[in-house]
Structure 1
Amino acid sequence: MSWLLKIIVLSLTLGAVSNAKGADSVNLLVMIEDADKHSVPRDSQINKRVHASISQQLNQVADVYDETSVTLNTFNQGPGRRTDAELLDIARSVTRPPIDIVVVLSTYTAVTTNEYAKKARARVAGKILNAKSGQFLDNFEVQSPRTWSIPYACDRQTCILEEMGDEAKVLGDELGLILAEKLNWLINAGSPESSTAEKAELVNDYYLEFDGFSAKHVANIEEYLLLFSGYVSHRPTQQRFTRTTLLYRSTTGTAMLSRNLLKLLEELNMRATINFEGNAFSIKRITLRGENANRDITEGW
């Protein structure tokens, strides 16, 4: 079989996988950012109600995991006032299950008191981040349409929390619906009726580290990486004599990319171990004594 024909066969084989029903699901964490001293603290009853409302809406389009449950044994549950950097570090450290998307929420409330009334207002902001790369994907915020009156005698903390929590929950439901729609668009590339030009796709960043492969081997491999379904782009981030790391951008999930890498090694008659952690694949070549280490792709498959 000619080299060109085999390229076509591999392209069809790898491309067909994109329609498989066994594609990766999207694992999501809803996290509270409260680094701003003016925002509502993470452990406040108000934030708990907002968090629950938004999680319920997002659960319709992704697999939403409870942060406390998946980090219980690995992270201190006490500290508040966490920054974006801390939240991303936590999300990336969770491997069971691996987290793909982080939805970061911040809630703001205020009460103004004068001689005859108490007025309140609230705002909830949310943004969607790619947990693997930290890439900003989208954001939105909702706020109470106007200030509303709360009982003037409501001067106890529990009373204020209840009044503000009721409004914040409504805002959480509204923001959750909007973020779910945006996330559904990113994950599913729009509705089935959408044209190709109208569709958006969630792009994942992967690091492919080839250890024990010469520059010539990597050049051969790159020819086939272009054929993988969902391919967007790639570039080297490190290149040494027998080790090369590529930043590989694709719309496919980790399971599909792993299968394609195995298929690639098989087609090129290369033996290697493949390890995966976070968003990095480590491919370490296995060589045998007397094996021709300089096999050229132009010699055939």
Structure 2
Amino acid sequence: MRLLFAHALIATLLLLSACAGHPAVAAEGPVVMVAGIDRDPDSVVRTNRINQRVEDGLVRQLRDRGYRVVDETAVSLGTLETGRSRRDEGEVIGGARAVTTPPVDLLVLYTIYANAESGNYAKVIRTRVTGRIVNVSSGERLGAFETAFPKPRHAPLGCGRDCILEIAGHQAEILSRDLGSILSAYIESAIQGQTDNLTGITEKQGLVRSYSLAFEQFSTAEITRIEEYLVAFSGYRTYRPVRVMQLHAEYWYETTAEAARMNRNLRKMLDYLGVQGRVAFTGDSFVVRKLPKSAG
């Protein structure tokens, strides 16, 4: 009996893996959002014009490497106060998780530091930019980097505020290109190809995503079978039971599958379990509810 189930399971997973390549839900790569963090009082405030030059430089580097970059203000309307200054990382990550059109996969955060000191014969201007990448769904930090010029820039003693901002802004823009190149390499490493154990097909889309899965009204025997399907889905990384009770089970699930593929795999799983059910999805949470059998 177990042998027959094993064959049925493999046949199911081969079907699901084949369906994963359907154009309707083909992987398009991660959606990236770039945002400035200026919580540190020594950092350049987001409303400073230097900030926009750095953000534009980072966005250009990421787009030139083929990544889909969304504008923070455009996608965060109604969910995040993008005009606020002195924001911390938690506030921005929370806002990114609330974005659903489209959902943000990766958050590129940057902070700018610039200062000018007057010497005996010239002003000394130092500029540096730090950056890090956060997986929005899991909160995992994928990489961090800091870049600065090996030597400070000197300006005449008469160089006023606008002069200093122009010099520091030019330096920061150059540094943003270097930072964008490094962070792009981190992203590439995070989504490097993986090979499906059943089909032997290597997929480019390898970014690990985290989902909350809840199953309602399933018996203990059905939950056991569901767990067997979950670990065999294409892209599976790991899962962890969060809460398991009679007719209710919740899991933390990590996979490289995008939401559309997870949604379809769960619906296909219900078909092969031979039960009627409904799959609901919001943000990074799925709720799968078993429905009573139709009369007759």
Q: Shift of the alpha carbon at 1:92?
A: 0.4
Give, in whole Å, the separation in 2 of the partners of 1:111 and 1:200.
44
Change (3 A) 1:288 1:204: same
Residue type of the partner of 2:11? V
Change (3 A) 1:107 1:189: farther
Aligned to 1:296: none
Give, in whole Å, the separation in 2 of the partners of 1:208 and 1:189.
25
Give, in whole Å, the separation in 2 of the partners of 1:201 and 1:95.
21
Give, in whole Å, the separation in 1 of the partners of 2:264 and 2:79.
30
Question: Aligned with 2:191: secondary structure?
Answer: helix
Which range is displaced more, 19-28 or 132-141? 19-28
Q: Shift of the alpha carbon at 1:237?
A: 0.7
Q: Gaps (5+ residues) in structure 1?
A: 191-195, 292-301
Aligned to 1:189: 193
Give, in whole Å, the separation in 2 of the partners of 1:240 and 1:255.
28
Q: Gaps (5+ residues) in structure 2?
A: 195-200
Coordinate RMSD, CA, aligned: 2.2
Whether 1:31 aligns to 2:25 is no
Counterpart contact for 1:32–1:105, Cα < 8 Å? yes
Residue type of the partner of 2:39? A
Question: Aligned with 1:96: secondary structure?
Answer: coil
Task: Report percent identity of matched pairs.
Answer: 34
Counterpart contact for 1:26–1:100, Cα < 8 Å? yes
Of 71, 74, 80, the residue aligned with 1:75 is 80
Superposition map of 1:1-301 within 5 A: 2-17=4-19, 19=21, 22-59=26-63, 60-155=65-160, 157-189=161-193, 201-288=206-293
Counterpart contact for 1:132–1:278, Cα < 8 Å? no
Q: Residues 230-253 of structure 1: CA distance to partner in whole angstroms, max 9, x if unpaired?
A: 111111111121211111111221
TM-score by length of 2: 0.89
Q: Residues 118-162 of structure 1: CA distance to partner in whole angstroms, max 9, x if unpaired?
A: 11111111111011111111111111121111232112x222111
Change (3 A) 1:137 1:77: closer
Q: Shift of the alpha carbon at 1:116?
A: 1.1
Moved over 6 A (4+): none
- The higher relative CO (CA closer than 8 Å, separation ≥ 6) is in 1
Aligned length: 283
Residue type of the partner of 2:181? L
Give, in whole Å, the separation in 2 of the partners of 1:260 and 1:32.
37
Question: Aligned with 1:226: secondary structure?
Answer: helix
